[in-house]
Structure 1
């Protein structure tokens, strides 16, 4: 019989390994986790307003302003006038930003292949189902904790 605390210990070890890998990537790229996340969102959405980025990242607009300021300073993004809204600006990846985003996507795909490329489809689907349910349950527990239930 599988011990639930042993399974949780392996999940926690996985979280540590993922964090260590992200820390390595950040050190190599000279970026913070938050800036990497913002670039990842830009890679998925294309040029976006700061308001849309704040919503996607679940942070305040002020927080996004600081992140964008840092990415402008490092040459990863620019602020461009929004073509349809004079009050808004678009955060747009530069060539360096686009290259970094492409590297993120490439690294993501390579790690997925290294971890799961030889896992049989049925086993991967079962893992995905358990993992999805676990993430949903944990998110619900965190939300209940946040709302004081």
Structure 2
């Protein structure tokens, strides 16, 4: 990965940031027909469906006012069934959304872990056990820092 040639005090939106963001997007979305892309699309759809159902749940009280003013028992039963169906529907959507969100998080962690391991072991960045030079490296200490950064990168909660 190498040293950065940019001043650490000069941070902001520049070409380097967009290049790194594009590399990260290519890592977490490997292709159009991949599991992360399908999960993200499903999560996006579920978020929209949740908002759609929440809007109609917000209209339930006005429906009850109309039914109570008309004193119509069959309309009351229909309105209650509709409200029950909407509440069950939105609770199922929220549960599925949380499951898909967790699965997507795990998938992204797996992809980033593999990419980091591939980059780490691609060069001679680790020590050979049978050759003991004056400097012995401990790769597990670096993996702890990388794992923390990877976890922070993947921890995108959609609420």
Q: Which TM-score applies when normalising by structure 1? A: 0.33
- Larger RCO (alpha carbons 8 Å, 6+ apart): 2
Mark the structure with the bigger radius of gyration.
2
Higher strand share: 1
